[in-house]
Structure 1
Amino acid sequence: MAALKLVCALVLCMLVVEPIATTAITCGDVTSKVAGCLSYLQNGGNVPKACCDGIRSLNMMARTTPDRQTVCGCLQTAAKAVKIKGNLAETLPAKCSVNIPYKISTSTNCKNVK
């Protein structure tokens, strides 16, 4: 009986101590979050609410340095694949009142993003 209690206690400790699993951000996640920004990034005008909502959501998802580096790289890949106005991309975080710790630009070195 004592052995069973010990096993139960160990299993309980493992469950409590086990870190919460997180999923890595993918470029698919990034493109789906910024899809609402495409017309603005190509044509200018007013920033759609859906765009800012996506930028905020993406920023909240990117909590770790590897996540932020992934997001940076995915944004660069997307920007190169679709013709956008780079100056609009750079000002997007400020227009959405989101603090992103790096410049959204194809010239940003994503390996240096913290």
Structure 2
Amino acid sequence: MLLRIPGQEDIHINHLVLDFNGTIALDGLLLPSVKERLIELARMIKIYVLTADSNGSATRECEGLPVDLHVIGTDNQREEKCSFIRMIPPGVAVMGNGVNKYRFLFL
């Protein structure tokens, strides 16, 4: 997927990493229209969802979606998420909030 920002170099995005709760879900439930948007995006890029799953609902909410769900521990979430992201090849867009070190970032 090619992202063109006027006045800057083109950005090639091959992977999208999303936080679950607070980014695509609220109180453990996917936000309205997120499923449809994830399905559309997955036609262009690989999508990962990282979560500590504090509500215990991420597996159920992501079931049947074209995403790779990765549940991490609750202790060192920031470090675990950063380590996971570093293992993905270049061309990664990352979106998250809360305990995440990133808000929106391209690697």
What is the TM-score when the length of structure 2 is the normalising length? 0.34
Q: Kindly name which structure, 1 or 2, has the bigger radius of gyration based on alpha carbons.
A: 1
TM-score (norm 1): 0.33
Structure with bigger strand share is 2
Instruction: Specify which structure has the higher proportion of helix.
Output: 1
